Chain A
């Protein structure tokens, strides 16, 4: 029963199918016609092997079209398609073989031309197998999908690397003709006329294979890398010009034309292209800003060192920062760089302060509210507070002791002098009040002092420390003044008064008045009685503790002192003088039998030579006892005269006055004698020779100036004595140093030498 029904059903179906295929043609002619059409269609669609040398069978398109028409009427197209796709799957190995072949070649050569050839080859496969468009878009898209699926599944893993290489090389096609390998192997049928770009073939091949969509992120990453490489190459360490405009120009010249190909190839007009490129273009622009920003952040420490010459770089960074939020990164990297390169025991306090000052200026420029500065500066300030010599450095900076006259004088040319600013509470009535920036920390205050000096002084809680240090510095300078010219110091004090307030600098005011008073008193006394002595008379309690010692000036020195003191007492009856014998300088002429030696020496040295005027030979120990000074101090003074050729060591510790200069007998320093002899023959060569010899000692001098910062000439001389074979006098050293100064190696200021930075 059931079998009957089934048999009937099958018969019905068969009848229906037959009727559909035969279409009421007589007999089975319909069926025959159908099978003919099917044969032609499948044969036409069959995916052939490109490598098959046998020529393709020619089809009359009319016939083919008619067959498809026929099959379509019989509703057999889906079946045909299935059949076709199945055939494709079976033939897939042909393509796979090609891919493997090209990839192997590429891997061996590692040049993009094999990739280009592969792409063109695949495009050819794709075109070869593609059914005619008359079959409708459904069939066509089904074919494309199936082809691409097969294709992607057959790519080896190295394909993406190769493709990347190809894309990367495509940048060079933008402004230059393509190399032959990037052109299609055979003349393209639809060669676009006019100045169309040649790389269009490669891109359209990629597109028809669907590679552009599939590898979109890869293409973008290639472009990112391209931009990064360019930024690194052109911008690294170039801080003296603004790079951003130049980079934007480069983007327009090089990257945008390239972008047209993968992203806007189909555009018909410039406007359309612009629209298509807008999104991706701004992504690339952002990436460029970010790359530049990252680069500049890495270099920020050095940029700050170069401030203000590196201003254009900061300008770039500011613009980038507004586009890319890297503020946190900035704080982190700059703090790291500071910790590593600045805040360690090897750094000079002056350079830390300089760097801090530059950091202030640079970050104020980047971020006017000062949030960045506050975050970066905090560790520097804390570190500076721990350093013992910070105050001295800041004070030195204040009065402009740095090289090139930097400091107070220069600082104030472009900004008005203002009193030190103190923190103020928020003014709640201020109509222009603005909330603190969002990334400000809890301790941040917008109205912190903004000028450099106030900020430096505010490292410490009290400014008294500065005033004290200032007093010491001022005292040193004033006491070194011999020509009565201390206008610079007066001006500095006037400026500092504005900053620190009148009361704090009262002491300095007294010191300056002592200077003028001394001069007036001296003029009066000189009018009464001409004397070579010109003392600076200071008010004790108002000067920092001065070096005191108890030796007495001998002989004529004592007489002069007493005479002066007497005149002073006459002029100021209720005052008297208390000499500080150690301090000051004396210029002397030592008149010997055959020569006169002129020298400018400290009083101790003068006292020593005075003792030799009573007795020709002295033991250092005796001298020390006689003058109530330490032996070491006496020896040092004696050696000064030995250098000048006035004294000579007879025996250990026993020195003799040389009434007649010893030249022939000075076996101890043959070099000097030789130099002196040559001196008569030709002046120039001796000088040159001396320079040559001095070069050996230059290393020593350079070393000590590097280590100790600044030294007086006498100090350098006494240290050089420790060097083997050193036999120069202090005058020769002075000449040499002067020469070094002319050559720009060292600078001198107030008798103190230092290396030119």
Chain B
């Protein structure tokens, strides 16, 4: 017997590839350390998630909504530091597998 697939309409969710590779992750997922909204949600100023509200990776391995972090860096008190570990913020090169 052979099974031929003619057409397959499937449903999937997208996730940010944050390196957290837990396949059974059905909970709220990781949240942005600044706005406390899940990464797959969007920052408080955005309406559309995903490509319109991307993430930003730091060399320090911390991840934030890009808009959240840029706003933070833009304030004087930030001293251009990562809000999590107070090391100078350096945006990481996107790792490509």
A576 engages B15 (CB within 8 Å): yes
> Given A586-B8, A591-B1, A657-B1, does the pair A539, B50 have CB atoms closer than 8 Å?
yes
B97 engages A569 (CB within 8 Å): yes
B25 contact set on A, CB distance < 8 A: 578
> Interface majority SS on A: helix, strand, loop or mixed?
mixed
A586 engages B5 (CB within 8 Å): yes
Measured CA separation A506–B48 after assembly (Å): 9
Which single member of A506, A583, A592 contacts B10 (CB below 8 Å)?
A: A583
A533 engages B10 (CB within 8 Å): yes
B96 contact set on A, CB distance < 8 A: 573
A536 contact set on B, CB distance < 8 A: 9-12
B5 contact set on A, CB distance < 8 A: 532-533, 556-557, 560, 586-588, 606
B16 contact set on A, CB distance < 8 A: 574-576
B9 engages A585 (CB within 8 Å): yes
B10 contact set on A, CB distance < 8 A: 533-536, 561, 579-581, 583-584, 603
A613 contact set on B, CB distance < 8 A: 1-3
Cβ of A456 to closest chain B Cβ, rounded Å: 28
Residues of chain B from 25 to 67 with CB closer than 8 A to chain A in the complex: 25-26, 29, 38, 40-41, 47-51, 54-55
A535 engages B12 (CB within 8 Å): yes
B8 contact set on A, CB distance < 8 A: 532-534, 557, 560, 584-587
A585 contact set on B, CB distance < 8 A: 8-9
Q: Which of A283-291, A509-517, A666-674 contacts B (4 or more CB under 8 A)?
A: A509-517
Which single member of A534, A538, A603, A657 contacts B7 (CB below 8 Å)?
A: A534
Max count, chain A CB within 10 A of own CB: residue among B2, B5, B55: B5
Asked if A537 is at the interface of the complex by the 8 Å CB criterion, the answer is yes
Asked if A550 is at the interface of the complex by the 8 Å CB criterion, the answer is yes
Asked if A590 is at the interface of the complex by the 8 Å CB criterion, the answer is yes
Asked if A589 is at the interface of the complex by the 8 Å CB criterion, the answer is yes
B24 engages A550 (CB within 8 Å): yes
Measured CA separation A642–B16 after assembly (Å): 42
Measured CA separation A509–B1 after assembly (Å): 44
Asked if A253 is at the interface of the complex by the 8 Å CB criterion, the answer is no
Q: Which of A274-282, A396-404, A440-448, A541-549 contacts B (4 or more CB under 8 A)?
A: A541-549
Measured CA separation A346–B84 after assembly (Å): 60
Cβ of B22 to closest chain A Cβ, rounded Å: 10
> Given A510-B49, A612-B1, A659-B1, does the pair A575, B6 have CB atoms closer than 8 Å?
no
Cβ of A338 to closest chain B Cβ, rounded Å: 44
Measured CA separation A569–B49 after assembly (Å): 18
B23 contact set on A, CB distance < 8 A: 578
Asked if B13 is at the interface of the complex by the 8 Å CB criterion, the answer is yes
A577 engages B14 (CB within 8 Å): yes
Cβ of B47 to closest chain A Cβ, rounded Å: 6
Measured CA separation A183–B70 after assembly (Å): 111
A586 contact set on B, CB distance < 8 A: 5, 7-9
Q: Name the CB-closest residue of B to A518.
A: B12
B13 engages A482 (CB within 8 Å): no
Instruction: For the A-B complex with A532-B7, A578-B15, A585-B8 known, give 19 more contacts whose Cβ atoms are closer than 8 Å.
Output: A482-B9, A535-B10, A536-B12, A537-B13, A541-B38, A550-B24, A569-B17, A574-B17, A574-B94, A577-B12, A583-B11, A584-B10, A587-B7, A587-B8, A589-B4, A598-B6, A610-B3, A613-B2, A659-B1
* B interface residue numbers (CB < 8 A to A): 1-17, 23-26, 29, 38, 40-41, 47-51, 54-55, 94, 96-97
* A interface residue numbers (CB < 8 A to B): 479, 482, 506, 509-510, 513, 517, 532-542, 546, 548, 550, 556-557, 560-561, 569, 572-581, 583-592, 598, 603, 606, 609-610, 612-613, 657, 659
The 11 sampled A-B contact pairs (Cβ below 8 Å) are A482-B7, A509-B48, A517-B50, A542-B41, A561-B10, A569-B97, A572-B14, A577-B15, A586-B7, A591-B1, A603-B10
A-B residue pairs, 5 tightest by C-beta: A583-B11, A589-B4, A535-B10, A591-B2, A584-B10
